[in-house]
């Protein structure tokens, strides 16, 4: 929990990134990576503080937002200690973005690795491809060349994993947005019902994902009845397809929002709800999904 004086200090900081201004710092390494995603997805990802402890669970165990806006965000995050005995270590992180120049500066303002900065420039390589160029800086405390090189390698390894995870989220989200836009534009009408086959055969092959009227639904059997729920998270279209349902609740792997599969209600954000699923009905020994009105 940050103190009132820390909060006042954070509120007084400038809100524009000083990209390339690295006085008092030394560069310890560089990482670059091309990814098949649009610049819009990349900038959205930089501003998205909320995915850190869920998508990047091996690097962050929790995050509490302090402030955010179009300029970026400040948050208190916990970094796993790596040991069951030692408590997680806290960090105050600030990320300042220039959305026109496609660069951002991440600064550790308190806690573990205080003073470190990461300067990232994103460059469009094509309509659906970008490259991130990441420079790692630490306070100039007299590290030897060998210590700097090793520290830089550690940072590159961590960033390779973070971008593996980010790339999968950004690419998937982009694909979902395009698929949804294509369906809305298409002339295909909505189906009233979908025949899935003989009921016992369907039951023997559960769970399964069924595309229906532009949505994607999971069909399963629980407590003596068929259940059907949307596997497209209404927050940012995260995939619920492979997530376990525990006590009737499924959690999204991107930001961790939890949904009651029976009602679709979101436990974290009452305004969000899973898409209304079709209803599973048995007619003449066959299982059908019927569009809900």
Binding site for ligand FES (CB under 6 A): 233, 235-236, 238, 252, 254-255, 257
The site for Fe ion, by CB under 5 A, has a size of: 1
Is the Cα dihedral 233, 238, 240, 241 positive or negative? Answer: positive
Find the part of the chain contacting Fe ion (CB under 5 A) among 59-67, 163-171, 203-211, 283-291: 163-171
Could you say which of ligand FES, Fe ion, none residue 238 binds, taking C-beta under 5 to 8 angstroms by partner kind? Answer: ligand FES
> Does 166 engage in binding with Fe ion (CB under 5 A)?
yes
Closest to ligand FES by CB, 92 or 231: 231
Which of Fe ion, ligand FES, none does 166 bind, CB closer than 5 to 8 A by kind?
Fe ion
Q: Point out which span in 7-15, 18-26, 164-172, 224-232 binds Fe ion (CB under 5 A).
A: 164-172
Residue with tokens 């524009």: 16
Contact 37, 174 (CB under 8 A): yes
The Cα 192–Cα 177 span in angstroms is 24
- DSSP-assigned letters across all residues of 240-269: -TTPPEETTEEE-TTT--EEETTT-BBSS-
Least distance from ligand FES to the Cβ atom of residue 45, Å: 12
The answer to whether residues 192 and 283 touch, using CB atoms and an 8 Å cutoff, is: no
In the bound state with ligand FES, the residue whose beta carbon lies nearer, of 132 and 250, is 250
Cα distance between residue 72 and residue 48, in whole Å: 9
Q: Is the dihedral of CA 191, 238, 210, 179 positive or negative?
A: positive
- Residue number, 198 or 256, with CB nearest to Fe ion: 256
CB of 85 to ligand FES, least distance (A): 32
8: region left, alpha or beta (phi > 0 left; psi from -120 to 50 alpha): alpha
Candidate ranges 132-140, 144-152, 166-174, 253-261; the one touching Fe ion (CB under 5 A): 166-174
Closest to ligand FES by CB, 238 or 278: 238
Chain contacts with Fe ion (rule: CB under 5 A): 166
């Amino acid at each position: 929990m940050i103190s009132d004086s820390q909060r006042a200090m954070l509120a007084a900081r400038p809100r524009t990134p000083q990209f390339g201004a690295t006085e008092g710092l030394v560069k310890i390494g560089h990482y670059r990576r091309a990814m098949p995603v649009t610049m819009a997805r990349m900038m959205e990802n930089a501003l998205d503080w909320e995915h850190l402890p869920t998508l990047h669970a091996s690097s962050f165990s929790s995050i509490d937002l302090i402030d955010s806006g179009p300029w970026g965000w400040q948050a208190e995050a916990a970094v796993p200690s790596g040991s069951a005995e030692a408590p997680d270590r806290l960090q105050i992180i600030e990320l300042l973005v220039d959305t026109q120049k496609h660069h951002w500066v991440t600064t550790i303002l308190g806690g573990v690795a205080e003073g470190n900065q990461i300067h990232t420039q994103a460059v469009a390589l094509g309509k659906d491809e970008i490259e991130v160029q990441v420079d790692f800086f630490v306070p100039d405390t007299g590290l030897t060349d060998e210590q700097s090189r090793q520290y830089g390698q550690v940072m590159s390894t961590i960033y390779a994993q973070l971008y593996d995870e980010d790339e999968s989220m950004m690419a998937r989200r982009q694909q979902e947005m395009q698929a949804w836009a294509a369906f809305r534009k298409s002339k295909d009408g909505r189906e009233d019902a979908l025949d899935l086959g003989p009921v016992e055969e369907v039951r023997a092959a559960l769970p399964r994902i069924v595309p229906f009227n532009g949505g994607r639904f999971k069909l399963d059997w629980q407590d003596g009845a068929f259940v059907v729920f949307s596997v497209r998270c209404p927050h940012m279209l995260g995939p619920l397809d492979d997530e376990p349902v525990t006590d009737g609740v499924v959690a999204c792997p991107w930001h961790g929002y939890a949904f009651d599969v029976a009602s679709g209600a979101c436990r974290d954000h009452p305004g969000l709800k899973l898409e209304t699923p079709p209803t599973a009905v048995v007619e003449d020994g066959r299982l059908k999904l019927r569009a809900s009105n």
